[in-house]
Structures are given as structure tokens and as C-alpha cells.
Structure 1
Amino acid sequence: MSNQTNQQTAEPKWSLVGPGLVVAATGVGAADLIATTVAGSKYGYALLWAVVAGCIMKVILVEGAGRYSLATGRTIFEGWSSLGRWTHWYFGPYIVIWGFVYGAAAMAGTGLALYSLFPFLSVAVWGIISGLLGLALVWSGRYDLFEKVLTAFVILMFITVIIAAAFTLPNLGEVVAGLVPMIPEGAMINVLSVAGGVGGTITLAAYGYWLREKGWETPRFMRVMRLDNSVAYGVTGIFVIATLIVGAELLYSAGIAIGSGDQGMVDLARVLGERYGTWMSKLFLIGFWAASMSSLIGVWNGVSMMFADFAGHTLKKAHDDPDRLAGGKFYKAYVLWLTFPPMIMLFLGQPVYLILAYGVLGSLFMPFMSVTLMWILNTDRVPREWRNGLFVNIMMGLCTLAFAALALNEVHTRLAKFF
């Protein structure tokens, strides 16, 4: 056996910081943190179980995406394409519209965090700087650099939020009681938002691409992939639980309300500053920026690879054609699409119908992913030994129901707002 082969087989024994942490860090942005914090501020620890449920759901779905990639050597889009051309007609418009609107939202979030720390530049200017930094970091498509940067951001956001949670002196008895499933009156949407928001949406599907970039491409990496995925969402669960603790202890007990979206993170930093000193406010804002920036960089890399695969596959380019890989021309085109056109929205506002299409198409993605994964992983598209078992099918079915309910609520809310 060659030294290279020995090295490859040895790697899974120790390399736990991998694509799982990348997909989890990318998926946990400021919007997810504030949704969890608001849930804590409204219901205390009553929805803690929903955070755990959300982590389990994402572990199931990400493991399915990774299992398909390792078992077949194919990408998730190739799997979707095998179900029919209808997947192209959904995914194509979705990824284009999503990228434009998300690019603006991501730059606005990072810009707000930096403006709160350094107000000598505007939110828009800081957002543009963040977008350009993200472009520079992912332009070459080098995964090793990308993973190191994401790991640093994960450590930073993890430390800051854990410190904030520790300072609130959580009631451990109530924390344990919150693990018992219950839905307070009027809290169903909060339950779905908390569970559905833990750990990302479209970036879950990027997992297989990051596995490929890591060099985990065959079934013999199945065990380490599952370990990587479980460890990553374990870390994510601790992180999100910490934000719920902050909301429950700092806001719920005092009856303090905070704003929605990214502004809510700034409001929370202000409350922390008033309670524990300016240094805590600054520390939390750094964590807010790290969470926002990790999502930006992760999307700039991961979703760009998905677009490159979609474009290359649609144009019938070979599976391993350079244009379909990180660093190729389709990849770079989408990185540019994420970065420059959305800058217009930072200054001119958000076009109503584009935002509506973004919300509707985006709300349908998680039901789309869970249904198509069940379809793919129960058929001969996957070798028999790697198909779904009964437990995984039940869990994916529950995921589908939960995400479908959340999608219906999102579509209804969006349509009611604009019409």
C-alpha cells in the first residue's frame, strides 16, 4: 500500500474539523440567533427542546446528502436531476433570485455589526467591505484556506455567545425542564422557526460539495462523515442553546423586548452592555459579526459550487469538468453575482416582487430537499446498503411535515404583507 493511501486512510481517525462544521457555521447566521433569542425572551426555556429537535433534523438531512455523495460519487444536483427536469425549473430560478437577495442581506448584516463597533463608516460601506473580503477569501476556490477561516470564525462566535450565556447565570433546573416537549399557547410558529432555523437551509445541500473538496469522496469515508456531521451539529446545538439562555435569563425575566432581524442583535448587545458593562456589549457584537461573516463566506463558497454544478450539468459538461468545480468560471461568475449586483439594494432598498419571490421560493427549499432526499435514498439511485432505513425515513417524513408547515406560514405571511 502506498504512503498516499496510508495517509488517506489515516485521516478519518483524527480529522474532526471538517465539512460538517463548515455547513453548520454557514447555516447559523444572525437571523437564526435572533429567532432563538426572541423565543427565549417570549417563552423562557419552554422551547429548548425545539432547538434539540432542530439539530436532530439537520443531522438527518445533512447525513442523507453526505451519504448520497459518498455512496454514488455524484453531486446532490445530479441526484435531483435524475428525478426529472422539474428540479431544474425550480432550482435554477431559486438559486439566481436567492443569491441576489441573500447577497444584500448578508452584506447588510455584517455591515450593521461592524457599524455598531466602528461607526465612522456607514452600514452600507461596511457591508460592501465585508462582501469584497468574502470574495477575496473564496475567489481561488481553495478549500483548505476556506476551512481554516471558517473554523476561526466558529471559535470566535462560540466563545462570545458562551461567555454571554455564562454571565446570565442560567437556572439549570429550568434548562432541564425545557427539554420536555411542550408548545405554549400561540407558540407553534416560534417552535417551527427555532427548529427549522438551526443550522441552515440551502447550505445543507452544499455539504456534499465540501466533502469532495475535503477529499472525502468514497464510501470508506462514511463513518467519519457521520462523526463529522454529529460533532458539528452538537457544537451548533450548544451554541444555539446558549443564545436561548441569554434570551430567557436576560430578557424573559425582565420583560425586555428587542427588534427583529439583525437589529435585534444590536438591541441585545445594548442590553448586555447595560447589565454587564460596555466590554460585554463589544464582545457580543464581535460574536454577531463572526456569525454574520461566517455565513457570508460559507455561502460565497458553498452555494457558488452548487451553481457551478447546476450550470455545468445543464450545459452537459462532464462531471469532473473544471467549469463545474470550485475556482471554475461558473463558480466565479456566481461569486461575482453574490457580491456586486446586491450592492445596489444596500442603497436603493429592496424591490418588492423580488423579495416576495425570494421568500416563497426560499420557504419551499427545505420541503424540496427533504422530499427529494427521501425519494433518492429509497431507490436504486443509491446502492442498497446505503439506502434509508425505517428510522431515517420516519425522521425525514417528520422533517418534511415540519418544513412544509413552516413554508405554508411563510408563504401566507409574505402574500399577506405584499397584497
Structure 2
Amino acid sequence: MSDQGSPGKLRTWSIVGPGIVAAATGVGAGDLVATLIAGSRYGYALLWAAVIGCIVKIALAEGTARYHLSTGSTILDGWQSLGRWTSWYFGIYIVIWGFVYGATAMSATALPLSALMPGLLPNWVWGAGVGILGAAFVALNRYDTFETVMKWLIGLMFLIVVSIAILVLPDVPSMIAGLVPRVPDGSTFYTLGLIGGVGGTITMAAYGYWVNAKGWHGPEKMGVMRLDNRVGYIVTGIFVIAMLIVGAELLYAADIALAEGNDGLIQLKDVLAERFGNFIAVLFLVGFAATSLTSLLGVWHGVSTLFADFVQNMRGQDTADRGDLHRSMPFRAYLFWLTFPPMILFAFDRPFLLVIIYGAFGAFFMPFLAITLIWLLNSSRVPAEWRSGWLSNGLLGIAAALFTLLCLNEVWGLVAGD
């Protein structure tokens, strides 16, 4: 009995991939800091929000891939069927988002590398180098190689962060109490952030394309896609909870305030060195670098694929005639756009007006995704047997409401100048 079970488990693990890639791509350095700060300020009180966030992301990613598999078309085709306004919005959004995010991803990846090898190279050189190497890797390798490298990086960051969480000795009774929903005074922003922010970006829309790149086509692959999606977001959910544990046990208990932004992770490295020694601190930086690199590579591949499909869609090409998006000129053009123009922001430190525009458009994307998925998956565009049931509609409805609240919060912050 056990002889048959082991190979089955290994085969199951070898099958999954796109879900882990999608989930981990959405977790960047900024998300880690937000989770750490939530743990450092409120202990385990917001653990329930991280769990709900994981469930909501499973529903969103499943919805995008279900549309791909059940219709044989892409999410871009679905959006265009709702009206030309979707193409205008998405086209403007993806261009602005890519320019600003390119600089953000390269800077975030440069930070731990610079800290691991202090004084060797300036931060901007690390950032530019990683961006160029990432673009070259994505352009020159097919999906299977990309997925394999991403899995190794994800495994590394998962092992390091979860090990550190175990090392700080989590308070299990407090964790169990943290599963009961409550919102402490002043924690609304962090609560919404844990539910909606971590692992939730434009790359969620790329999941269906990674599913197709894996070779999964048609409704017969629906079961394996759902398994893959759940495994990916459960792994990421455990990762996020581990970061919350580190914040709660290492910072909340010692009343240490963590800085906002990527510098907060470097500050945590100093706290780890003081408590556990330099080896653990360096190990954390390695995990930090792996986390930032998975986010960069995932965006370089996934969002470039989205852009390539957008261009082909605007040209009126049928899905079957679009060929290998990864080998197309629009894919390579967007790779260039993500990598080289954003380097200008290294010198100008992200112009204020551009950040305002980026924030406004970015805040509207996740509600756009959740609401359009509800629309598409309950319409005649999808075969009746694959339309959303009460559970999917309920979770997507919760996602739409939560992301709309986050959107309003972001827009209010921009208007108020916070």
C-alpha cells in the first residue's frame, strides 16, 4: 500500500506548477513588510485575515483559469467581449504599471544582494543587472525551464522563512485565538491589506496563460488545474503566516517598530543577527532575495504574456492563430519596456506624478478582475456546466467587495496626500 502511495504523491507534486508560480509572483518585498508590520503591531490578531485572503485568491485564480479551459479563449478575449472600454482600460493600465513596477522589482531585488555583498556594487547596478539577466532568462527559455527555476526559488524562500518562524517559537494558543475574526483599533488598513494585497496583483490574470503553457487545454484539465491552484495558494498562505509569526514573536513581543518599505526587511536582518547570530541573518537575506527574484521573474514572464495577447487581440487575431505568445515580438517588446526604461527612475527616485497615476490605476485592477470574472463566468460565454455556482459566486463577490474597499482606501490616500 505505501509503495503505491509514494510515487503517486511524487507524481502529484511534479504535476503542479502554474499555481505556485502565480501565487509566489504576487508576493513581493512590500507584501512581506506589510505582513511583518501587521504581526509586529497586532500580534496574531489578524491571522484570520491572512487565511481568508488565501481562500479569496484561490477563487480568483481558479476563475481566470476556468475561463481559459472551458472556452478555449483567453481572459483578454473575455474582457473584450464586455466592450471596448475594457481594452482601453487594460492597455493604459499595463503600460503605466509596467514602467513603475519594473523599477520597483529591480530595486527590491537589489537590496538583499547589496546587503549580502556590501560595498561590492552600488544598488542601481545590482538592480539593472538583475533586470537584464531576468529579461534574458525569460526570453531565451521556454515555460518548463522557467517553471522549474521558479519552483526551486519558491522552495528556497519557503524553507528559509518557515524555518525562521519555527525558530522564534510561535505561541500556538495565541495563533488559534487569531483565527477568530476581529479588527483591533487602527488595524483596518492592515486587515484589508492581508486579505487583498498579499499575492494579489495583475499576475493573477496571467494564471490562465501559465496553465495553457503547461500544456493544459480543455475542460478535461479542470481537476488538475484546481489541485494546482489550491496547492499554490496554500503554500503561499503558509509562507505569509510564517512572516506574520516572525513579526508577532520577534517584533511585537519585543516592542520593536519596523520601518516601512524594503528597508524594514534589512532592519529585520539586524534583529535576527542580534538574537540568533549572523548565519540566520544571512540566511534570511537569501530568502528575501529569492522572494524578490520570483516576483521579478514571474512578472517579466506573466505580464509580458498578457501584453502579447492584448496586442494580438487588438489586431483581431483569433486565439488559434496567435501562435506561441512567448516567442512573439509584443512579448519581447514588453520585456524591454519592463527592464530598460524604468532604469530612469533609479536616478529620479520615481517622479511623484507617475506614482500618483500608477497608484490610481493599480487600485482599480483587482476590483476590475473580480467583477468581470463574476460577469463572464455567469454568462453564456461559458458552457453551462462550467459556470459559477453559489460557492464561486460567493467568494468572487467577497473578493469584489474587499478589493473595492481597498481601492477606495487607496484613492482616498492619494486625494488626501497620505
- Smaller-chain TM-score bracket: over 0.9
1:370 is matched with which residue?
A: 370
2:314 is matched with which residue?
A: 314
How many angstroms does 1:348 deviate by? 2.0
SS at match of 1:31: helix
How many angstroms does 1:415 deviate by? 2.5
How many angstroms does 1:14 deviate by? 5.9
Q: Aligned partner of 1:377: which letter?
A: L
The question of 1:99 aligning with 2:98 is answered yes
Aligned length: 408
1:47 is matched with which residue?
A: 46
2:201 is matched with which residue?
A: 201
How many angstroms does 1:186 deviate by? 1.5
- Contact 1:43/1:184, CA 8 A, preserved across alignment: yes
| Gaps in structure 2 of 5+ consecutive residues | 1-9
TM-score by length of 1: 0.95
1:59 is matched with which residue?
A: 58
Task: Report runs of 4+ in structure 1 exceeding 2 Å deviation.
Answer: 11-17, 320-324, 415-418
Counterparts of residues 355-366 of structure 1 (less than 5 Å)? 355-366=355-366
How many angstroms does 1:94 deviate by? 0.3
| Gaps in structure 1 of 5+ consecutive residues | 1-10
2:4 is matched with which residue?
A: none
Q: Aligned partner of 1:121: which letter?
A: L
1:80 is matched with which residue?
A: 79
- Contact 1:308/1:324, CA 8 A, preserved across alignment: no
- The 1-side partners of 2:240 and 2:151 are apart by 17
Choose 272-281 or 132-141, whichever is displaced more.
132-141
Choose 377-386 or 115-124, whichever is displaced more.
115-124
Choose 390-399 or 37-46, whichever is displaced more.
390-399
Q: Aligned partner of 2:50: which letter?
A: V
How many angstroms does 1:12 deviate by? 8.2
Identical counterparts, % of pairs: 54
1:296 is matched with which residue?
A: 296
- The 2-side partners of 1:13 and 1:40 are apart by 34
The question of 1:26 aligning with 2:25 is answered yes
Kindly tell me: are residues 13 and 245 of structure 1, through their superposed partners in 2, closer, same or farther at Cα, counting changes over 3 Å? closer
- Contact 1:16/1:227, CA 8 A, preserved across alignment: no
- The 2-side partners of 1:280 and 1:286 are apart by 10
- The 2-side partners of 1:145 and 1:327 are apart by 15
Counterparts of residues 241-252 of structure 1 (less than 5 Å)? 241-252=241-252
- The 2-side partners of 1:327 and 1:240 are apart by 34
How many angstroms does 1:416 deviate by? 2.3
- Deviation digits for residues 248-291 of structure 1 (CA, Å, limit 9, x no counterpart): 00000111011112111111111111111111111101111100
1:401 is matched with which residue?
A: 401
- The 2-side partners of 1:332 and 1:112 are apart by 26
How many angstroms does 1:319 deviate by? 1.8
- Contact 1:356/1:415, CA 8 A, preserved across alignment: no
SS at match of 1:126: helix
- Deviation digits for residues 112-168 of structure 1 (CA, Å, limit 9, x no counterpart): 111111121111110111101111110035101100110011011001101211111
- The 1-side partners of 2:30 and 2:16 are apart by 24
Q: Aligned partner of 2:37: which letter?
A: V
1:3 is matched with which residue?
A: none
The question of 1:380 aligning with 2:384 is answered no
- Contact 2:70/2:382, CA 8 A, preserved across alignment: yes
- Contact 1:309/1:324, CA 8 A, preserved across alignment: no
- The 2-side partners of 1:165 and 1:210 are apart by 31
Q: Aligned partner of 2:229: which letter?
A: N
Kindly tell me: are residues 122 and 321 of structure 1, through their superposed partners in 2, closer, same or farther at Cα, counting changes over 3 Å? farther
Kindly tell me: are residues 385 and 16 of structure 1, through their superposed partners in 2, closer, same or farther at Cα, counting changes over 3 Å? same
1:37 is matched with which residue?
A: 36
Q: Aligned partner of 1:22: which letter?
A: V
- The 1-side partners of 2:337 and 2:106 are apart by 13
- Deviation digits for residues 343-396 of structure 1 (CA, Å, limit 9, x no counterpart): 111122211111111101001111000000000000001000000111211111
Counterparts of residues 7-406 of structure 1 (less than 5 Å)? 15-119=14-118, 120-140=120-140, 142-322=142-322, 325-406=325-406
Choose 45-54 or 392-401, whichever is displaced more.
392-401
